A and B are shown apart, each in its own frame.
Chain A
Amino acid sequence: MGRLWSLLFLLVPVLGTLVFVLAMADIGPLYKHWLPLNANSHGGIIDSLFLFILGLTGVIFVGTGVALFWFMWKYDEQRNREPVKFSHGSHTLEVVWSILPAATLVFIAIFQMDAWANAKMKRPLVSPGADGVEGTLDDIFQPPLVEVVGRQFEWRIRYAGKDGVIGTEDDVHTVNTLFLPVNEEIVIEVTSMDVLHSFFLPNMRVKQDLVPGMKQLVWFKPVKTGVFDLVCAELCGWGHYKMRGRMIVGTRAEFDEWLEDLRQQQNQTILTSR
């Protein structure tokens, strides 16, 4: 029996690796079971970090899994004729297998920091300001193009009107459809009216919880046109599943036209309702 059990344990690294390989290769039943299309010019780094960690942990996964199998196979009581190795451990080994993983883990952490800073801390600039140096006080930031407010269970979306400022009379309002121009640095202001929501754009590798009482910014640069999902990723009540939005990415001209249409429709309704 020992042999069979060892083989069962060997299946863990074998099948475990196989599943990931098939998914990455888009083969068979695992077709399209991998990271969805990335359409954000800053999103690729997240995918590569994911793959980097996958490679690293994959080696450890297979290594430890095979070692476990091999020890089970070899030291099965029914076959192992050698006496038990009476040992309480090895100082050298402990040192080695503490320092190596520690160094690796610290390295992984440091390796992530740039990507994190770019995703959450370094808001895109229009220009570094008069002194020409980024990260100084006179930096001119990219202003938010649109504001997204979460509400049970919809996305309220608001574009600046002619004055270019969000929060004034002439804002353009819509619900659940976020239209954005392609190939531009987009900054979005997000918040919530009621409970927590999470603004999740799988294809942009963007996720930010919306917290009532806090205005936050998210930014990305869509580089592909098309229709993408806008998902609510934080439980917000019974209707959480239907808090579905979509993001349409079009050319600048399409965007302007769409916004203009919307503005006119809105003026129309305001006029008729008066």
Chain B
Amino acid sequence: MSTTTVGSHGAAGAQMSVSQFIDTYVFSRDHKIIGLQFLFSTLLWFLVGGLLALGIRWQLAWPWSDMPVIGRMLFHTEGGQIAPEFYTMLFTMHATVMIFFVIIPILAGAFGNYLIPLMIGADDMAFPTLNMLSYWFMWPAFICIGSSFFLPGNGAASGWTSYPPLSAVWEAAPGSGMAQTMWLLGITFVGVSSMMGSVNYMTTIIQMRAPGMTMFRLPLTIWGMFITAVLQAFALPVLTAAGFMQLTDRVLGTGFFLPEGLIVNNNDMASGGGQPLLWQHLFWFYSHPAVYIMILPAMGMVSDIISCFARKPVFGYKPMVYSISGIAGLGFIVWGHHMFVSGMNPMLGMTFMVSTMMIALPSAVKVFNWLGTIWGGKISFTTPMLFALSFVSMFIIGGLSGIFMAATPVDIFIHDTYFIVAHFHYVLFGGTAMAVFGAIYFWFPKMFGRMMNEPWGQVHFFLTFVFLNGTFYLMHILGAVGFPRRLADPYDYQTFAHLQPMNQFITICAIGMVASQFIFAVNFIYSMFYGTPCGRNPWGANSLEWAAPSPPGHGNFDFQPIVYRGPYEYGSPEVETENYPQWQPPPDKPGDGGAGQDNPEKKA
């Protein structure tokens, strides 16, 4: 182990030359710096995505009305109002940013990078240069998609699902010509970046575990990351290929997704012979597994946090691992549930219904095991724990609403309504985003050597939790009325005219939710510099990252960690202490000196 380099980059920062600085912080090959780069970039995009969402909410609450303060700045030509084509761009970009620039890269890119080597006891990733590239390949994507905001016209506007022909034919969406092409390129770059990450994570987890770290001693976070990497490796090529096909349809005049005889905007289309549904199959073949890419790491992190603060082993570790794997396996045969009313053969709809129902099973097993974990524990209600528990509570709602949509006849009615919007916000915001907040509060001390402010963390949790439910819960009710998604002004329909007050309530909650995040932002930035300094293991946790200094220096560990047991031995009768870290030698086997540094606290 490279003990000599520990802490060197932090202290030497002041006298660094420019090129050293660039090596260390810009084109760094250190997984921790890369993880932080991902973290900061994605948090900034989180802000962008949140503001885009407020634009959507504004229009739904007070359609075609002057947006206060920023309206005039954004759309001076329309007198401060949102134009319909701008609205289409808003929800397209909101989803694109949140999915491709926030959720996926913050889980795999930020936490995957930061935690994998530390938690398995490695000094870095298997391929540090590839790792660096996986971050820097996000930048062309940022530029492509960011630039589409400024290109003439209105930005990409065929939804994050980019269904052809709307997305593939220039004439179908005249305002978004170049932007739509840039959008496709951007998604391709994200795919390349994820692919590099994926290969790296798999190799690292398989090859670089510390002595004694068997697969079944891996923390569930690592299992989540590992299976996610596998999912990406298998699913991404399909998206990339489909993206290129759509790109050639757009710019080279091929007709993969365009049928014969299209007449768009009074123009006869020359190309043809393709099938619009083919895109949907390819897209969802990637994007259904992708929704698990967006939650499995979060499930892992939540398991670690819950076990740590319930002071009790994870209930059913192996069933947890099997359900993660089961979700991943089944995840490849359910994509058709997004296409029940798309015109796909209804016979196929039946098989996809059965497989989709089955995928709710491992999700249920996980929920029961989380409940089992806190049962009989000693729960301390810290901020990370609150966020982790809210993940469970919110994921239950999102998982159960999935069953409605998996039921094909019911989906006929609720497909493309706000019921769907409620579903995926419960899993993605109530689930993943809450888990990510929990994870940030939990691992912040490791990343920066300081604690985040606890009372303000709890305020942030409280407000987010309340506003989140205020925003998304009622969307189930909207969906039950049939309220369609992606509609700039639904109130001219007699069926939906009376739903405006409910939408106004939702918008007010959404504004509250975005506003509450500023508490988090201030807490985060303030604590980076002025938070209470902490030792290696402030939470009294068990997994290996807590054996390293906070923050860990280059090469991570200042001793060779050896793993003696699983990561969840809290409350073990074998020791006096509440925790029993993975690296602590058993009492009858004297240690190697490096173990259990400024830790563990004694049992009360």
- A interface residues, Cβ below 8 angstroms from B: 1-2, 5, 8-9, 12, 15-16, 19-20, 23, 29-30, 32-36, 45-46, 49-50, 53-54, 57, 60-61, 64-65, 67-68, 71-72, 75-77, 80, 82-90, 93-94, 97-98, 101-102, 105-106, 108-109, 112-113, 115-117, 119-121, 151-152, 193-196, 198, 200, 202-203, 205-214, 216, 227-229, 231, 233-242, 244
Contacts and interface: CB of A to CB of B under 8 A. Distances in A.
B410 A75 contact: no
B371 A71 contact: yes
B312 A85 contact: yes
B317 interface: yes
Contacts of B319: 89, 94, 98
A195 B317 contact: no
B361 A116 contact: no
A202 B377 CA distance: 49
Interface in B258-311: 259-265, 272, 275-277, 310-311
B407 A241 contact: no
A1 B315 CA distance: 25
Contact of B571 (A46, A83, A115, A195): A83
A149 to B, nearest CB: 10
B489 interface: yes
B88 A36 contact: no
Contacts of B379: 2, 71-72, 75-77, 80
Contacts of A240: 84, 88, 486-488
Going nearest first, the 10 A-B pairs with the smallest beta carbon separation are A213-B259, A85-B376, A84-B571, A89-B316, A238-B85, A120-B346, A115-B409, A202-B482, A241-B488, A57-B400
Interface stretch (B206-214, B352-360, B443-451): B352-360
B147 interface: no
Nearest to A190: B343
Contact of B375 (A71, A77, A121): A71
B275 A213 contact: yes
Given A72-B374, A102-B361, A198-B416, A49 B367 contact: no
Contact of B357 (A108, A195, A196, A241): A108
Contacts of B469: 12, 15
Given A85-B312, A240-B487, A16 B473 contact: yes
Contacts of A115: 409
B392 interface: yes
A213 B409 contact: no
14 contacts: A53-B410, A71-B371, A71-B374, A72-B374, A72-B379, A84-B571, A101-B361, A112-B408, A152-B264, A202-B413, A235-B163, A235-B166, A238-B84, A238-B175
A196 B312 contact: no
B343 A97 contact: no
Contacts of B85: 238
B313 A88 contact: yes
B78 to A, nearest CB: 13
Contacts of A121: 346-347
B341 interface: yes
Contacts of A8: 462, 465
Nearest to B276: A211
Contacts of B76: none
B65 interface: no
B407 A53 contact: yes
B486 A80 contact: no
A209 B154 CA distance: 26
B173 interface: yes
Contacts of A120: 346, 349, 408, 412
Contacts of A87: 312-313, 315, 376
B532 interface: no
B20 interface: no
Given A121-B346, A238-B175, A102 B358 contact: yes
B403 interface: yes
B93 interface: no
Interface in B402-426: 403-404, 406-410, 412-417
B371 A200 contact: no
A241 B397 CA distance: 29
Q: Which residue among A35, A71, A93 has the maximum number of chain B CB atoms within 10 Å of its CB?
A: A71
A235 B371 contact: no
A184 to B, nearest CB: 21
A208 B571 contact: no
A63 B132 CA distance: 47
A88 B565 CA distance: 13
Interface of B: 84-85, 87-88, 154, 157-159, 163-166, 169, 172-173, 175, 259-265, 272, 275-277, 310-319, 341-343, 346-347, 349-350, 353-354, 357-358, 360-361, 364-365, 367-369, 371-372, 374-381, 386, 389-390, 392-393, 396-397, 400-401, 403-404, 406-410, 412-417, 458, 462, 465, 469, 473-474, 476-478, 480-482, 484, 486-490, 492-496, 498-499, 501-502, 568, 570-573, 578
Contacts of A23: 477, 480
B220 to A, nearest CB: 13
Contact of B501 (A29, A229, A235, A241): A29
A50 B376 contact: no
Contacts of A210: 343
Given A9-B389, A65-B396, A212-B276, A101 B381 contact: no
Contact of B495 (A117, A203, A214, A239): A203
Contacts of A208: 341, 343
B342 A211 contact: yes
Contact of B493 (A77, A101, A119, A231): A231
Contacts of B157: 237-238
Contact of A94 (B84, B88, B365, B386): B365
Contacts of A237: 88, 157, 166, 172-173
Nearest to A31: B498
Most buried by A among B314, B364, B465, B469: B364
A253 B262 CA distance: 37
Contacts of B259: 211-214
Contact of A195 (B264, B275, B358, B408): B264
Contacts of B275: 213
Contacts of B318: 89
B245 to A, nearest CB: 17
A240 B166 CA distance: 11
A108 B458 CA distance: 40
Contact of A235 (B486, B498, B568): B486
Contacts of A33: 477-478, 480-481, 499, 502
A12 B396 CA distance: 11
Contacts of B502: 29, 33
A170 to B, nearest CB: 23
